[in-house]
Structure 1
């Protein structure tokens, strides 16, 4: 379709389709070019939290549970269920500094503690679909009016 022949509504839809197509392509390429296993934001959080975790002391309770001292509060970390007393790990599914300290103490790599949803593969899969132009499709021409809005009962509020 030639943009000069499009009506106002069709031009807007074509503009949105074109913009989304560019965004999807750029983000798909960015996801493929990531040098790490996780997105840049997650890698940054892990780096900051790892520095804090280095200052903490860890006492093992059993194979999966640890008592971690340091930071703003002392916490019990359960690596098996992805929980920490601070609540950050359970909500974000990204290990808090307590969980990183416990995982490092247990000999686990930090990336294994992060939920797979934050992986580069999931990021790429989110932008996998292509957005194709509408070639040869005719859009029905209609005039759209705003909805009828009735004023509520009572005096109008200022």
Structure 2
């Protein structure tokens, strides 16, 4: 559903009730949305972390990439991360990296995850609050 036009999704869902009176059609839509949101809330409650499934998947993949990176502290919150190709300058306080991936999707890039491992910090705390299941 996330990649499909929402108008197409709703149009497909209400095909069977389209000929009913408008009040019945609106009641059908209310009930359908209620079931959808409740199902998603229940799924989020079963998640073992406070992050959504997609965010966890991205972070796991980036964590695997960062296992061989070397981290060099510059200041208390700034680190140079050498990955052999595109080194990154990570600022934990401002949540930025010179690779710009962290800025783009608000999930820690592989350089930031390497810094989190170096500082013994949980990298889940570096994700934007939009990715929280709450």
TM-score band (shorter)?
0.7 to 0.9
Q: How many residues align?
A: 117
- 1:72-129 superposed Cα distances (whole Å, 9 cap, x missing partner): 41110001100000111122221000110112112211112112221222xxxxxxxx
Gaps of 5+ in 2: 1-18
Q: Whose relative contact order is higher, 1 or 2, with alpha carbons under 8 Å and at least 6 apart?
A: 1
Runs ≥4 residues deviating over 6 A? none
Counterpart in the other structure of 1:57: 70
Larger Rg over CA atoms? 1
Structure having the larger proportion of residues in helix? 2
Counterpart in the other structure of 1:47: 60
> TM-score with structure 1 length normalisation?
0.68
Gaps of 5+ in 1: 1-5, 122-158
Determine if contact 1:52/1:71 at 8 Å carries over to the other structure. Answer: no
> TM-score with structure 2 length normalisation?
0.79
